[in-house]
Structures are given as structure tokens and as C-alpha cells.
């Protein structure tokens, strides 16, 4: 098990310094009480140097150099998806706790190997599903737990994005040039696993939905890449509920409808601010009318990511054997995506493994 610094803070090392890593860097530094960044690494030396300057920490291009440091207790892996498994396993063997970007991996076999490696070495493995901690999601969780809309019987997710051509070779910011997003082998897939996996994770988590059967159709219509830019997924849940996911990364004139949960006694629109309809007497909500529910904080701002890392750091400091979004839990969302891709290829319903 990794040790923590003498000052009672978790000393983080960043592996990968691309665009999402910068957001994690900034989020970690918000928690001055329990977290500090002591090293950063990227194979792209200018990126590593830039991140090191932002964090006030030494930078490396060799991940082994970072992992051999005694002043690194935990690592944040923000690399292309196909590197999540080998880097997590390498970090676990070095005795470092791991917070890895979503999805956990490209395949279930890789995810299982990551989970096994961290268990074997006694380190924590958490996957960065940070939208769980955004203000509207936490408020929605409270309302669902109170029974405001009754039993959940339907989940809808609709995302219509129009990713620019530059995205596929440099992300949204162009901070790091790479072709991994274009490759099914390196990314695991397109808009479903890259983006909608957040929706799957947060809604399944707050509503307690357990998928038992998945059917999907997908295609690549407008983008010169291997991965899908258009997908529709139907999910059957253990409690009888039905889920539908519609997502595009090539929607001209983007207009997404977000996430909506229907219950036996109302419905909830996971938007900013939240909108709720209930037929019950619920404190703070209008009966048989739509209520707009304000939640503290920003819509999908840095607060959620900062809370995720702060909670992870505190679990490490407590010497806990568990953490938020452990690998086993993150594997469930990947299993839905994998089942959807298998269904789209076979044109048959598939049960998540």
C-alpha cells in the first residue's frame, strides 16, 4: 500500500498531460488541504513541461521515472483509452493508487486485468466518472431517493454533437495531436464510449438501474473514422424499466435533449436547472405541475471534478479499502457499451457480461 506524505496530503502524479489532464490538474489543486501534485509525465515533452509548470512539479517523459518516485502516492491516468490497462497495471505494481479517466478500458478483459492488479497489490482503483458530483446530478439523486417520481420505468438520453474535423486528430483544444480517437482498437468506439458512457454511469447510479439486455444499431455516416458517429441503444432493466440512448457526433445544428427519467408518479429532466413533475405531495415541489429546482454550484463546472478527487484523496488518507467509482462499478458501464457494439454487429440482443 502506498504511503502518504508527512504533511498529511496525498501526493499525486499525473500520467498523461493532454486536455482532460489539465482539467484534472486544476481540480486537484483546488483541494489544498489534502492534495498536492508532485510529478507529471507525458511522452510529449512540451506537454509534460507545460503541465509541470502549471502544477509547480517536475516533469518526465518516461512513466517509469514518475512511478519510481517516493513522493508519489497516487497517479491520475489521462491517456488514450488503450493505454489505461497497461499503465494502471504498471502503477499498481509500483504501489500507487490509481484514478483513471473513463472509460475504464476498451475491453472487459482489460478492465478485469486492471481490477485484479490493483486488488493484488492493495491499491485503490477509481474511474473518473466526475459528472456524478455535478450539482444537478446530486440533486436528482436526492429527489429519486425521496420517491418524488415513484418507481423509475424509463430512461432516455439524447446527445447531438457536431464534432469538428479537428477533434479527431487533436481533441477539442488541439493540445495534443494524435489519431487514437479515430481507431476502434485504440478508443474502443465512438460517441457511445467516449461521451454517452458518462450518461450511462450517472443515471444508472442515481436510479439504481441494472441492465439485463441491450440492443443497438450504429453506423459511421459523416466522419472519416473507424468509430461510430451515430448510435441508438435500447436497454431492458432488471426492474422492468426500458432505456433508450440516441447519440450523434455529426449532428448538424446541435440540439441535445439531455437525460430524462420517467417514473410511475412523475418525471425528472436532468438539466440545468432541474425540472420535475410529480403527482405526489413532495416538500418543495408543486403537485401535478412542473417545478424548476435550483441546485447550488455551476452546471457542469470544475466543482464536480474537484469533489471527485477530494473524496478520492480522503479515502487514501483514511487507509480505506474502498473508494467512489471503484473499478468493478465502472466495469458495469463498459459492459453496456461493449454489449451495444456487439449487438450492432450481430443485430441481436446481447446481455451485458
Structure confidence at residue 1 (pLDDT): 46
Name the burial class of residue 338, with classes exposed (0-12), middle (13-18) and buried (19+) by CB atoms within 10 angstroms of its CB.
buried
Q: Helices 19-30 and 302-318: crossing angle, nearest 10°? A: 60
Strand order in the sheet with 266-270: 211-219, 230-237, 242-248, 152-160, 258-263, 266-270, 274-278, 290-293
221-245 per-position pLDDT tens digit: 999 999 999 999 999 999 999 999 9
Indicate if the pLDDT at residue 272 is higher than 90: no
pLDDT of residue 302: 79
Is residue 318 pLDDT above 50, yes or no?
yes
CA 40, distance to chain mean position in Å, is 21
**Domain architecture of the chain: domains with CATH:** 10-130+304-322 (3.40.50.720), 151-263+334-346 (3.30.360.10)
Give the whole-angstrom CA distance, residue 335 versus residue 349: 14
Contact 209, 237 (CB under 8 A): yes
Mean pLDDT of 239-266: 95
Return the C-alpha cell found at 273.
436547472
What pLDDT, in 10s, does the model give residues 75-126? 999 999 999 999 999 999 999 999 999 999 999 999 999 999 999 999 999 9
pLDDT above 60: residue 5: no
Q: In what order do the strands lie in the sheet with 59-60?
A: 59-60, 35-41, 10-15, 74-77, 97-100, 125-127
HSE (side-chain half, CA atoms, 13 Å) at 209: 32
**Averaged pLDDT for residues 297-304:** 68
pLDDT for residue 207: 97
The sign of the CA dihedral 110, 114, 116, 117 is positive
Amino acid at each position: 500500500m502506498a504511503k502518504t506524505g508527512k504533511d498529511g496530503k496525498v501526493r499525486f502524479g499525473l500520467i498523461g498531460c493532454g486536455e482532460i489532464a489539465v482539467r484534472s490538474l486544476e481540480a486537484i489543486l483546488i483541494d489544498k488541504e489534502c492534495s498536492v501534485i508532485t510529478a507529471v509525465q507525458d511522452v510529449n515533452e512540451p506537454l509534460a513541461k507545460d503541465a509541470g509548470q502549471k502544477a509547480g512539479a517536475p516533469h518526465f517523459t518516461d512513466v517509469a521515472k514518475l512511478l519510481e518516485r517516493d513522493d508519489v502516492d497516487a497517479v491520475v491516468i489521462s491517456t488514450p483509452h488503450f493505454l489505461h490497462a497497461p499503465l494502471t497495471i504498471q502503477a499498481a505494481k509500483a504501489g500507487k493508487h490509481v484514478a483513471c479517466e473513463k472509460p475504464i478500458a476498451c475491453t472487459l478483459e482489460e478492465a478485469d486485468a486492471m481490477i485484479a492488479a490493483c486488488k493484488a497489490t492493495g491499491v485503490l482503483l477509481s474511474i473518473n466518472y466526475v459528472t456524478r458530483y455535478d450539482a444537478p446530478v446530486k440533486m436528482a439523486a436526492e429527489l429519486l431517493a425521496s420517491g418524488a417520481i415513484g418507481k423509475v420505468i424509463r430512461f432516455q438520453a439524447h446527445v447531438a454533437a457536431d464534432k469538428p474535423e479537428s477533434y479527431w486528430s487533436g481533441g477539442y483544444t488541439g493540445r495534443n495531436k494524435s489519431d487514437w480517437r479515430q481507431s476502434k482498437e485504440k478508443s474502443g468506439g465512438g460517441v457511445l464510449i467516449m461521451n454517452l458512457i458518462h450518461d450511462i454511469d450517472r443515471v444508472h447510479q442515481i436510479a439504481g438501474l441494472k441492465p439485463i439486455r441491450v440492443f443497438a444499431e450504429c453506423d459511421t455516416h459523416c466522419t472519416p473514422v473507424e468509430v461510430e458517429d451515430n448510435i441508438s441503444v435500447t436497454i431492458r432493466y432488471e426492474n422492468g424499466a426500458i432505456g433508450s440512448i440516441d447519440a450523434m457526433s455529426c449532428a448538424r445544428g446541435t440540439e441535445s435533449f439531455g437525460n430524462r427519467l420517467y417514473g410511475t408518479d412523475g418525471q425528472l429532466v436532468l438539466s440545468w436547472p432541474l425540472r420535475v413533475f410529480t403527482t405526489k405531495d413532495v416538500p418543495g415541489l408543486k403537485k401535478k405541475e412542473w417545478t424548476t429546482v435550483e441546485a447550488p454550484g455551476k452546471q457542469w463546472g470544475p466543482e464536480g471534478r474537484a469533489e471527485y478527487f477530494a473524496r478520492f484523496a480522503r479515502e487514501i488518507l483514511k487507509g480505506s479499502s474502498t473508494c467512489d467509482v471503484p473499478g468493478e462499478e465502472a466495469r458495469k458501464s463498459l459492459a453496456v457499451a461493449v454489449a451495444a457494439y456487439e449487438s450492432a454487429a450481430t443485430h441481436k440482443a446481447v446481455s451485458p457480461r
